[in-house]
Structures are given as structure tokens and as C-alpha cells.
Structure 1
Amino acid sequence: MKEEDLNEALRDVIVRSTPPPSMDPAHTLDRARRARKRRRAAWAGVAAGVLVVGVGAGPALVANITGPRSVGQMVAGSPGTPSAFPSASTPPPVSTVAPTTAPNTRKTGDPWPEGQVDRTASAGPRADRSVTLMNDLSSSVPAGFSTPNLKDSDGHSLRWPQTQYASSDGEPDYWEYMATIPVQKDNRVGQLLVQSVTPDGKPAADICTVAKRFWGGTGTCTVTDVSGKKVGVLTTKGDGSYDQWAAYRYDDGTVVFLAQAKKCDRAGRTPLTQPIFTARQLAELAISPKFKIST
């Protein structure tokens, strides 16, 4: 006989020799009751184990809830791990790091913008814009005049550009780009100045009111129409640094001033005998797009 035949014969004998379960109702009911008691005993053991764990962990949990804690201590995982869902009553963190750039509206103590140490931008794109402004002004003088690189008695050039952060406390950011040059005819020297002021957020005003803002100037202002654009031309009595200037305000708030003087204070030279531009020419040049810097 093969091994497989022997195993099959043994299984057949075991099956045939096992009596079928009893069909007696009383016996069946008794077996069910014993099974139910075993289940209850098992569940009671589990409950007792949970209770023991709860009693041991309870003081620590209460201490965490009632005592000082960080949000992270209430979260499963390593102690001190911040919660991804902080309590609604937890205040947001307050930054103690000082800002490194000026805000849109200046306040006392704010840092100067773009890494500057004071109001003046001595390098970078903003400083370059004033240099361009100076070169454009030099190329604008009428025939018969020149713009030499003269120096004052201390050896400083009379041609100089300047870019300045102009905002005061409570004002939005705005900038002033300015350039001054000497203008010579024969052996006499006068000077020109151009200034472009970016939008400062102030409401539009009458153009002569705008003209009088230039260095607190006083004098007689007239409105000149240049191709439908209103330009304020203010003429002084000759007792200030400049004899005359034109002012124009663009719709976006950019303001351009163009000033002229027959004398050059720092040069110690004989003043010009005539203005560099007529009042009309000054007004026309003030609206030239090359002098508008809006950012």
C-alpha cells in the first residue's frame, strides 16, 4: 500500500469514529451559557487592564492640561513637538526681528530703504537716475551756452546729481531726483537745476501752488499753456538762489521743477547778463519726458 493510500484510510476511520454533536436542547443551551460566561470574563479582564492604565496616566494628563505648557506637549509624539492644529485661544507668535527695509508708510525709527545709511542714495540704480538727469539737462542748454565741469574754490565740482528719499513720518514712500550744472557764456557763469519728484500720494493742487513748494519760493506765478498742459512759471525778485523756475505735475502725481539763475553762488564767477531760457522755453522744457522719473 502506498503512503497516500494509508493516510486516506486513516482520515476515513477518524471521521467515521467521531460521534455527531448532541441534538439534545438542554445540552445545547448549557453549552451556550458557558460560552457566554467565558466571553464576559474575557471582556472584564480587558476593562480592568484599561482602568489600571488610565489611573496611572491620569495625574500626568491632568498636570499637562492644568499647568503651564506649550501647545506641542499636548500632541502625540516627541515632547515639545508643535501642534499642527493649535488651540483657537493660542495667540499668534510675535516677531522680535527688526525689519530691514522701510515700510510703505514711514514712521519714526524705521530703517532707511534699500540699505541706505541716511536719506541720500549714493550708489545703485536710484543714484544712476540722477546722473542721467544731469546729463539730459546738460544736453538741453541753448546754443551759445556751454556746461563745463567747473569747480568751486574748495575743488568740488559744480556739476552734481543727488537722489534723496523724501518721505516724512506718516507719508508714503517717495523720492526726489535732482541735478545741478553750471552754465557758461563767455567768462560768465550761471546755473540750472532740474528736480523730478515721484508721486507722493498728495492730492492735486493748483499748478502755481505746486510751483511755490519749490524751496519755499516766493514771487509772481503765471500759468503757461504748453500743448494743452498747464505749467506754472514763478519769477522771483532775484533775492534767492534761483531767479525763475517752471513746475509741471503729471496726472500720475510726478512733479518736475526746472530752475535757472544768472549767478552761480559756489563758483565765485561773474554772473550771466541774461537768463539761459525765456519763460516760455523754460515751461516747454519742464514737460519734456526725459525729466520725468516716476519710481
Structure 2
Amino acid sequence: MNENDLREALRATMTATRTPPPMASAAAVAAGRRAVHRRAWTGAGATAAVVAAVLVAGPLIAGGHGDTRSGGPVQAGGPPQPMPSAPATVTGTPPGAGAETKPSWPLDGDGQPQEDATARSGERYERGRQLLDELLAVVPKGYTKPEGTARDGIPLRDHQAAVEDHDSWGYLASAAVADGTGTGRLLAEVHTLGNGLPTDPCKLAAEFWGLGGDCHVVRVGAARVGVASASDADERINQWAAYRHPDGVVVYVAQSRTATNAEPGLAPLKKLPLSATDLAKLAVDRRFHLN
């Protein structure tokens, strides 16, 4: 497993178009296979996701400008170069009529159509930046928030926004956290209205990166939040919380003991920064409710 492999998995999660009905595991595998040619964003240890049926059609980040379902060629250690995903809309002659169809992307901040699913400026891009700011604001006391890049060029904090369907967007933010002995990572992923994700808390949690995991429900007031842990064999993400707001916006908050598997200079955290209850509370926190 290496960092660039997870880039593939992470961007695949954000740019793969979700096809109704909501993705179950089989549908996630299919969407992941469709996106396997795309390079992803950044993270830690995605070979398992790609080789083991490319599980990540479902969503989050782990260390770079990335979408949750969020490809193009990326040089090792270089910035992510998104590739087009399934188009938001398609124009052209119907199939079989001899003309190729081409995607029509939303307008970017410069008033021109985006190059692909990823926003590089404008309102949506800024919402991805806002998600990173909110994530940094909830780093627990006793932890620092490293900046810059690891020795392999992977950013230690980053954000991204990408269109997932005609009117649904995904925002993803990742930030390394350190306690003096090791470095791990916190992540937040938001899917806007029309995302098609499940309503059941644990089914919703299982959709996150196609990880499945061992889930239980944590109550935060009247809210029911799915909190899941990955198997010991899966090192991408250790624990995450999933909450679907009453209006349909979905929030995932996740944590990992590792910041990047490709960086030998960054020892992993000995323990996770947040408790299961902490994760659940953050998942329902209005600061992460972006649309």
C-alpha cells in the first residue's frame, strides 16, 4: 500500500457518479471499478480498496485536495490533477447516431465551465476551504496541526469540492494532527442534498469509502449517529461517524492514527485523538452542515 494508491481511491469516491437507488456494497464496487482509471487525491493505504474490488465509490479524504467521491495523472509527490468523472450533464447526438457525447460541467469561479468534476475557484471551492477551517477548529487540545507537506510531497492539510451529480456536491477536508510522539489525521466529508445515501445510521456509515466496518448507534440528543470502526487489516481510516441531517445533508467525520503510510518520517499516533462520542457530536455539529 502506498500514498498514491489511496489518491486513486479517494478521488474515485468523489468523482464517481452515484446511481440511484442508494449504493449498496455491490453498487459501490461497480462505481469504484468505473473510476479505477482516475488518479485520486491523497491519503494512506488504498491498495486494499482498489485491489479488493475497488471499494471506494462511497466517499472522504486523507490528506490532499480531494473530494469524497472524488483523477488525472499525478506525479508522485506532486499536486493532484483531477480527471473527469461521469458528467453532470451530457450533450450531443444520441448514442448510435455517429456523434460523440461530451460532458457539460458547472461554471467555475471564473465564469467558465469546470475542467472536470472538481471546482478550482468560486463558491463551491470556498465551501471546501470552509470545511477545512471548521475541521482545524475542532482539533482537540494537546494536538498540533502540522502544515506543509510530507517528504513525499503529500499535503498535510487540504480540501476539495466536486460535483457528484446534477445537483449534488461533495466537500472533503483533511488535516494532520500530532501529539509529539506521532502524527495522525482528522477528516470531514459532506454530501449535499440529493446525495442518495441511506437514512439508517449504520447503513450510512457502511457507505463511507465502502469500508463497511463494525457499527453501533450513538445518540446525540435526539440524533442517531452511526459510529463505525474498520477492521485491523484496513489502515486507511480507523474510526468514523455518519449522520444524515433531517434535510438530507450527510456528514462524515473520521480519524486515523496515521497521516500517510508513504512517509516513514511520520510515526503513527499511539491512540486516536477523539472518542466515539466526540466523533458523533461532531457529525451532528451544524458547523459541518454545508450545502
Task: Tell me, yes or no, whether TM beats 0.5.
Answer: yes
Partner of residue 68, structure 2: none
Aligned length: 187
Partner of residue 185, structure 2: 191
- Asked whether 1:158 is paired with 2:151, we answer no
**Normalised TM-score (structure 1):** 0.60
Gapped runs of 5+ residues in structure 2? 1-86, 91-100, 108-112
Counterpart-to-counterpart distance in 1, 2:211 and 2:158: 22
What's the offset of the Cα at 1:106? 3.5
Deviations 1:124-181 (A, max 9, x none): 11111111111111110111111120412233421110001112xxxx4200011000
**Normalised TM-score (structure 2):** 0.61
Counterpart-to-counterpart distance in 1, 2:236 and 2:164: 21
Partner of residue 207, structure 1: 201
CA RMSD of aligned residues (A): 1.8
Counterpart-to-counterpart distance in 2, 1:282 and 1:204: 19
Greater fraction helix: 1
Counterpart-to-counterpart distance in 2, 1:222 and 1:174: 28
Where do 1:21-100 residues align within 5 Å? none
Is the 2:215–2:226 Cα contact (8 Å) retained in structure 1?
Answer: yes
What's the offset of the Cα at 1:274? 0.6
Aligned partner letter, 2:102: G
* Runs of 4+ more than 4 Å apart: none
* Aligned mate of 2:223, from 226, 229, 233: 229
Partner of residue 284, structure 2: 287
Higher relative CO (CA 8 A, sep ≥ 6), structure 1 or 2? 2
What's the offset of the Cα at 1:203? 7.2
Counterpart-to-counterpart distance in 2, 1:220 and 1:165: 29
Is the 1:136–1:290 Cα contact (8 Å) retained in structure 2?
Answer: yes
Is the 1:134–1:161 Cα contact (8 Å) retained in structure 2?
Answer: yes
Change (3 A) 1:187 1:220: same
Change (3 A) 1:275 1:243: same
Partner of residue 217, structure 1: 211
Counterpart-to-counterpart distance in 1, 2:178 and 2:171: 23
Partner of residue 171, structure 2: 177
* Aligned mate of 2:105, from 112, 121, 132: 112
Question: Secondary structure of the residue that 1:132 maps to in structure 2?
Answer: helix
Is the 2:152–2:263 Cα contact (8 Å) retained in structure 1?
Answer: no
What's the offset of the Cα at 1:110? 3.3
Is the 1:204–1:253 Cα contact (8 Å) retained in structure 2?
Answer: no
* Aligned mate of 1:146, from 112, 119, 144: 144
Aligned partner letter, 2:288: F
Partner of residue 124, structure 1: 122
- Asked whether 1:244 is paired with 2:239, we answer yes
